[in-house]
């Protein structure tokens, strides 16, 4: 499976949401990381043939995906960011319906729905109406839906957004489990999500993929170091203004700051190992995911 | 897929409520329609509905048969006797219930057009009344030759009226008259179209409203068979609910008042005396029902098309309402009347407007408005389907 984007561009009016993007993906898990508005959803909608590009093209094993039509949709699974459903349907009904529009034969559909309900831990909720599900359960129904046709290409738009820490961990594990032998692209603005499951990380900003590679490569690509600095409480403001601070930890007699800089900000600063969190801050100039990043 | 589309409709509590409302309207409507049939007992007290129908059936069926010259003469004589034997007009009315229909023909036949005189029969001789059918033709000829009609229209009307066969056969037919000559059926059709509009309003637009569109359109069948299933679901709901409501309403009204009279010509109700359509009540029922069906298909698929484009549920609900109700008011605006007669809502009111003999000359050919509107709107409804399909399957998601 090879998904290739060539000069892929999407403009809304005068605004360019995806900007001459060139990238090729093969089987594996790709984590698309970017702040809100970076163009992740727009890119994914184009990959799902829901939006047509204003420029460039997407090919799947050499064939243009819009031209492939149903042949392409057949191998596609998509969990949208704003995942909507039919509120009065039970989980079972919902999945059976999606199985039908995905073209599964009834016997296959029944088996597949049963399997996925089990796999996503929705067995107890199978007869519950979709509108009665908790946020996490809805998301699980969403991923079950995406997996129904056993897609070769699985696209998950912010699959962990809005989940509590426990749900998020379970969700990551589920995705890892499902990721075998496919091309999975998942977007997030939470660094720790991709840190654990993605083999390849794509950093997206202003409609462009500014950097791509494995976590290690991304970390090594930083041209600045990460320093651990211990400061007094009244000095924190000063440091926050002057440096990129990727983390701060309060202690009883001061604050430990994690600072990204070319050279040690203070004499007794200790050089520490950089992580993806730092990479994110380094490239985007702002912190990723706030509280979520702790997980 | 079709099954799930139907389930989407049925699973909405509001739709269940709308459906129950329609059921209630059908039942209430049939009772009201039946209640309009009244019978006056000897003592002047009035009964209605089923009880009245039973008495009227007995009295009217005494006149069952071809209404020949002899029968017409007899009606005039009986009419005079009824008046002579009663102290008051009301008393005479009680005695005339068996032949009041035929008495009305005579009133209509001999009154000036548009100036129905209830006492005409009282002042006419039996000999004069015997010429009722000739009188009808004479009146119609006079009407047709008025300068309002073009040569072609005159020829068209003459041909239509020539097909009328005298003498008329008569028997009890209050059930069919209550069903097809009253305002209840057009009103019911207006209600069914609005309620069905409500039921199907979400089929296309709610994918967008619910945000279920992304999953729908990225699915294998999302841009072909699943869209087709939606159209089929609409078609099925329109067809089943419309015919269900109409058949139940008809069976209830006829069940209460009697099925007898299906083969009678509609001219046996004096309101239809001048009607150019030579139809039996059973034929008028079919015409009315298929006309209404054509209007439902056209108006509802138009509403669905616009709502699929605009992605709005509200549009899907307002269009049937606007198209079925607004022309009633607009039609009164002078100058608009002629155009309004071509609106699809006319097909919801066939039972009431058939007698108005509305005709059109288009491209040198003359049509009765319904002979033209039914096929035209059926065809238009059919043409809407591929447009709806093609438009919806190409939806882009913003
Ligand atoms: N339909 C649209 N019309 C106009 N602008 C849009 C539309 N969809 C997205 N955008 C803009 O494109 C940019 C990228 O949006 P999006 O792809 O949703 O980003 P992300 O998913 O990374 O948060 C945003 O600035 C957004 O406002
Ligand atoms: Mg997004």
Over range A192-220, report the average pLDDT: 91
Which residue has 């319904």 as its token pair?
B370
**Residues making up chain A, counted from first to last:** 295
Point out which residues pair with A122 in neighbouring strands: none
The residues, ordered by sequence, that sit 6+ positions from A237 with a Cβ below 8 Å of its Cβ are none
Looking at the structure, tell me whether residues B233 and B339 fall in a common domain. yes
- Distance in Å, alpha carbon of B391 to nearest chain A alpha carbon: 14
| Domains contained in chain B, number | 2
Is A269 touching B (CB cutoff 8 A)? no
Neighbours of A208 (CB within 10 A): 18
Does residue B74 fall inside a structural domain?
yes
User: What is the gyration radius of the CA atoms in chain A, in angstroms?
Assistant: 21
Does residue B155 fall inside a structural domain?
no
The protein residue whose alpha carbon is closest to atom 12 in ligand 1 is A17
Does residue B213 fall inside a structural domain?
yes
Residues of A in contact with B396 (CB under 8 A): 50-52
Neighbours of B214 (CB within 10 A): 25
- pLDDT category of residue A294 using cuts at 50, 70 and 90: very low
Looking at the structure, tell me whether residues B204 and B291 fall in a common domain. yes
The residues, ordered by sequence, that sit 6+ positions from A94 with a Cβ below 8 Å of its Cβ are A85, A86, A130, A141, A145
Point out which residues pair with A245 in neighbouring strands: A259
Rounded to two decimals, the ipTM of the complex is 0.91
Per domain, the residue ranges of chain A are 3-219, 222-284
- A 91-110 residues with CB < 8 A to B: 93, 96-98, 100-103
Please list, residue by residue across B125-140, b when 16 or more beta carbons sit within 10 angstroms of its beta carbon and e when fewer do: ebebbbebbebbeebb
CA angle at B394 for the pair A76 and A97, rounded to the nearest 5°:
50
Residues of B in contact with A139 (CB under 8 A): none
Looking at the structure, tell me whether residues B86 and B31 fall in a common domain. no
For the stretch B146-189, pLDDT in tens is 888 888 999 999 999 999 998 999 999 999 999 998 899 999 99
Question: Do A82 and B211 count as a contact with CB atoms less than 8 A apart?
Answer: yes
Looking at the structure, tell me whether residues B103 and B236 fall in a common domain. no
Rounded distance, CA B336 to CA A63, Å? 57
Query: Is-contact B192 B185, C-beta < 8 A?
Result: no
- pLDDT category of residue B258 using cuts at 50, 70 and 90: very high
What are the residue ranges of helices labelled H in chain B?
2-11, 13-35, 49-61, 69-85, 89-95, 100-110, 126-130, 132-144, 151-162, 174-180, 184-200, 202-210, 213-217, 225-257, 281-310, 313-330, 337-340, 350-353, 369-393
Over range B9-37, report the average pLDDT: 96
Q: Are strands A76-79 and A270-272 parallel, antiparallel or unpaired?
A: unpaired
Residues of B in contact with A69 (CB under 8 A): 223
For the stretch B277-334, pLDDT in tens is 999 999 999 999 999 999 999 999 999 999 999 998 888 889 888 888 877 777 667 7
Residues of B in contact with A97 (CB under 8 A): 1, 4, 7
Looking at the structure, tell me whether residues B301 and B368 fall in a common domain. yes
Query: Does A42 contact ligand 1 (Cβ within 6 A)?
Result: yes
Rounded distance, CA A155 to CA A25, Å? 12
Q: Are strands A244-251 and A254-261 parallel, antiparallel or unpaired?
A: antiparallel
* C-alpha distances in Å from residue A279, one per residue of A62, A283, B108, B228, B252: 33, 6, 96, 49, 77
Does residue B44 fall inside a structural domain?
no
Residue A290 in tokens: 């706030």
Does residue B45 fall inside a structural domain?
no
Residues of A in contact with B221 (CB under 8 A): 70, 100-103
Mean confidence (pLDDT) of chain A: 91
For the stretch A92-134, pLDDT in tens is 999 999 999 999 999 999 999 999 999 999 999 999 999 999 9
Neighbours of B30 (CB within 10 A): 24
Looking at the structure, tell me whether residues B79 and B217 fall in a common domain. no
For the stretch B354-378, pLDDT in tens is 988 988 888 888 888 898 999 999 9
Rounded distance, CA B31 to CA B36, Å? 9
Query: Is-contact A111 B239, C-beta < 8 A?
Result: no
What is the pLDDT at residue B315?
A: 85
Question: Do B221 and A101 count as a contact with CB atoms less than 8 A apart?
Answer: yes
Query: CB-CB: which of A52, A84, A100 is closest to B210?
Result: A84
Query: CB-CB: which of A49, A82, A84 is closest to B218?
Result: A49
Residue range A3-219 forms a domain whose CATH class is alpha beta
What is the pLDDT at residue A291?
A: 38
Does residue B277 fall inside a structural domain?
yes
- Distance in Å, alpha carbon of B308 to nearest chain A alpha carbon: 16
Identify the contact set of chain B against chain A, taking CB-CB distances under 8 A. Answer: 1, 4, 7-8, 11-13, 210-226, 396-398
- Distance in Å, alpha carbon of A124 to nearest chain B alpha carbon: 21
Question: Do B219 and A87 count as a contact with CB atoms less than 8 A apart?
Answer: no
Looking at the structure, tell me whether residues B31 and B103 fall in a common domain. no
Instruction: Report the percent of chain A where pLDDT is more than 90.
Output: 66
Q: Which domain range does residue B355 map to? A: 2-36+174-393
Which burial class, exposed, middle or buried, applies to B239 when counting CB atoms under 10 A from its CB (0-12, 13-18, 19+)? middle
For the stretch A134-185, pLDDT in tens is 988 999 999 999 999 999 999 999 998 878 888 888 888 888 888 889 999 9
Q: Are strands A200-205 and A28-33 parallel, antiparallel or unpaired?
A: parallel
Point out which residues pair with A258 in neighbouring strands: A228, A247
User: What is the gyration radius of the CA atoms in chain B, in angstroms?
Assistant: 25
For the stretch B43-95, pLDDT in tens is 889 999 999 999 999 999 999 999 999 999 999 999 999 988 988 888 889 99
- A 65-94 residues with CB < 8 A to B: 69-70, 73-74, 76, 78, 80, 82-89, 93
The protein residue whose alpha carbon is closest to atom 5 in ligand 1 is A12
Looking at the structure, tell me whether residues B86 and B218 fall in a common domain. no
Over range B13-29, report the average pLDDT: 97
Rounded distance, CA B266 to CA B173, Å? 10
Q: Which of A67, A62, A64, A65 is nearest to A75 (CA)?
A: A65
Q: How far apart, in Å, do the first and last CA atoms of chain A sit?
A: 32
What is the pLDDT at residue A293?
A: 38
CA angle at B245 for the pair B240 and B249, rounded to the nearest 5°:
150
Pocket test for ligand 1, best of A31, A42, A280 (most atoms within 8 A of CB): A42
Query: Is-contact B353 B272, C-beta < 8 A?
Result: no
The protein residue whose alpha carbon is closest to atom 2 in ligand 1 is B398
Say whether pLDDT at B245 is over 80.
yes
Ligand 2 centroid–CA A179 distance in Å is: 21
- Distance in Å, alpha carbon of B395 to nearest chain A alpha carbon: 8
Q: Evaluate the omega torsion of the peptide bond into residue A255 and state whether it is cis, within 30 degrees of 0.
A: no
Asked which of A192-196, A227-231, B129-133, B222-226 is least confident by mean pLDDT, the reply is A192-196
Question: Do B4 and A96 count as a contact with CB atoms less than 8 A apart?
Answer: yes
Rounded distance, CA B217 to CA B204, Å? 12
* C-alpha distances in Å from residue A259, one per residue of A219, A227, A285, B108, B385: 15, 5, 12, 103, 64
- pLDDT category of residue A287 using cuts at 50, 70 and 90: low
Which burial class, exposed, middle or buried, applies to B334 when counting CB atoms under 10 A from its CB (0-12, 13-18, 19+)? exposed
Query: Does A12 contact ligand 1 (Cβ within 6 A)?
Result: yes
Question: Do A74 and B224 count as a contact with CB atoms less than 8 A apart?
Answer: no
At residue A100, φ and ψ (nearest 5 deg) are -65, -45
Q: Which of B379, B335, B353 is nearest to B185 (CA)?
A: B353
* C-alpha distances in Å from residue B87, one per residue of A52, B59, B104, B123: 87, 21, 21, 18
- pLDDT category of residue A286 using cuts at 50, 70 and 90: low
Rounded distance, CA B19 to CA B132, Å? 49
Question: Do B215 and A96 count as a contact with CB atoms less than 8 A apart?
Answer: no
For the stretch A27-73, pLDDT in tens is 999 999 998 999 999 999 999 999 999 999 999 999 999 999 999 99
Mutate to test the interface with A, among B214, B222, B232 (most CBs of A within 10 A): B214
What is the pLDDT at residue A167?
A: 84
Looking at the structure, tell me whether residues B239 and B93 fall in a common domain. no
Rounded distance, CA A139 to CA B51, Å? 63
Does residue B140 fall inside a structural domain?
no
Query: Does A96 contact ligand 1 (Cβ within 6 A)?
Result: no
- pLDDT category of residue A233 using cuts at 50, 70 and 90: confident
Residue A185 in tokens: 């692209």
Query: Does A46 contact ligand 1 (Cβ within 6 A)?
Result: no
* C-alpha distances in Å from residue B310, one per residue of B63, B204, B206, B226, B391: 60, 10, 11, 19, 11
At residue B342, φ and ψ (nearest 5 deg) are -100, 0
Query: CB-CB: which of A82, A88, A98 is closest to B219?
Result: A98
- pLDDT category of residue A240 using cuts at 50, 70 and 90: confident
Mutate to test the interface with A, among B6, B12, B209, B219 (most CBs of A within 10 A): B219
* C-alpha distances in Å from residue A156, one per residue of A43, A225, A253, B50: 12, 33, 44, 66
Within 13 A of A2's CA, how many CA atoms are on the CB side?
8
pTM, 2 dp: 0.92
Chain A residue at shortest CA distance from B221: A101
Looking at the structure, tell me whether residues B211 and B360 fall in a common domain. yes
At residue A32, φ and ψ (nearest 5 deg) are -100, 110
Pocket test for ligand 1, best of A33, A37, A203, A208 (most atoms within 8 A of CB): A37
Which residue has 């209600």 as its token pair?
B191
Does residue B41 fall inside a structural domain?
no
């Amino acid at each position: 499976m090879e998904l290739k984007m060539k000069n892929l561009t999407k403009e809304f009016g005068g605004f360019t949401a995806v900007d001459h993007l060139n990238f090729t993906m093969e089987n594996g898990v790709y984590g698309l990381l970017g702040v809100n508005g970076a163009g992740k959803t727009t890119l994914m909608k184009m990959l799902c043939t829901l939006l047509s590009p204003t420029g460039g093209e997407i090919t799947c094993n050499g064939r243009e995906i819009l031209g492939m039509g149903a042949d392409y949709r057949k191998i596609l699974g998509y969990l949208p960011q704003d995942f909507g459903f039919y509120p009065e349907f039970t989980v079972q009904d919902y999945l059976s319906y999606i199985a039908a529009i995905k073209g599964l034969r009834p016997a296959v559909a029944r088996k597949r729905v049963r399997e996925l309900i089990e796999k996503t831990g929705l067995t107890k909720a199978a007869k519950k109406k979709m509108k009665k599900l908790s946020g996490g359960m809805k998301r699980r129904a969403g991923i079950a839906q995406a997996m129904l046709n056993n897609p070769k290409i699985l696209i998950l738009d912010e699959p962990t957004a809005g989940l509590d820490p426990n749900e998020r961990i379970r969700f990551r594990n589920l995705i890892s489990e499902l990721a075998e032998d496919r091309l999975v692209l998942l977007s997030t603005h939470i660094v720790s999500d991709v840190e654990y499951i993605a083999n390849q990380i794509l950093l997206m900003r202003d409609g462009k993929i500014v950097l791509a590679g494995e976590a290690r490569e991304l970390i090594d690509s930083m041209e600045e170091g990460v320093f651990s600095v211990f400061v007094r409480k009244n000095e924190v403001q000063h440091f926050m203004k002057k440096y990129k601070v990727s983390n701060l930890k309060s202690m009883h007699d001061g604050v430990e700051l994690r600072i990204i800089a070319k050279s040690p900000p203070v004499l007794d600063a200790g050089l520490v190992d950089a992580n993806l969190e730092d990479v994110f801050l380094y490239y985007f100039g702002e912190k990723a995911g706030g509280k979520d990043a702790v997980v | 897929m079709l099954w799930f589309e139907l389930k989407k409709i049925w699973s909405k509590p509001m739709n269940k409520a709308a459906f129950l409302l329609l059921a209630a309207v059908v039942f209430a409507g049939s009772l009201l329609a039946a209640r309009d049939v009244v019978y006056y007992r000897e003592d002047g007290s009035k009964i209605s509905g089923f009880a009245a129908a039973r008495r009227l059936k007995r009295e009217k069926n005494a006149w069952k048969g071809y209404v020949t010259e002899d029968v017409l003469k007899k009606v005039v004589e009986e009419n005079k006797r009824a008046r002579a034997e009663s102290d008051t007009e009301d008393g005479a009315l009680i005695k005339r219930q068996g032949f009041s229909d035929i008495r009305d023909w005579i009133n209509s036949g001999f009154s000036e057009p548009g100036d129905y005189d209830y006492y005409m029969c009282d002042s006419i001789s039996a000999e004069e009344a015997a010429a009722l059918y000739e009188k009808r033709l004479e009146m119609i000829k006079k009407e047709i030759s008025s300068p309002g009609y073009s040569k072609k229209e005159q020829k068209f009307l003459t041909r239509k009226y020539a097909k009328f066969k005298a003498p008329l056969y008569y028997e009890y037919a209050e059930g069919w008259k209550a069903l097809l000559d009253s305002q209840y059926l057009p009103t019911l059709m207006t209600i069914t179209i609005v309620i069905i509009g409500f039921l199907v309003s979400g089929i296309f637009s709610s994918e967008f409203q619910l945000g279920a569109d992304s999953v729908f359109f990225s699915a294998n069948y999302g841009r072909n068979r699943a869209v087709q299933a939606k159209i089929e679901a609409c078609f099925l709901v329109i067809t089943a609910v419309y015919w269900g409501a109409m058949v139940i309403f008809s069976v209830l009204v006829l069940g209460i008042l009697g099925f007898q009279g299906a083969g009678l010509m509609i001219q046996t109700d004096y309101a239809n005396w001048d009607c150019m359509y030579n139809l039996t009540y059973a034929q008028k029922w079919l015409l009315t029902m298929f006309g209404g069906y054509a209007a439902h298909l056209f108006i509802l698929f138009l509403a669905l098309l616009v709502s699929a484009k605009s992605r709005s549920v509200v549009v899907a609900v307002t269009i049937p309402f606007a198209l079925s109700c607004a022309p009633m008011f607009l039609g009164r605006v002078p100058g608009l009347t002629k155009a309004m007669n071509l609106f699809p809502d006319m097909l919801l009111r066939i039972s009431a407007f058939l007698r108005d003999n509305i005709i059109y000359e288009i491209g040198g050919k003359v049509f009765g408005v319904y002979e033209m509107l039914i096929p035209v709107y059926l065809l238009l409804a059919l043409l809407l389907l591929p447009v709806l399909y093609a438009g919806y399957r190409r939806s882009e998601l913003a």
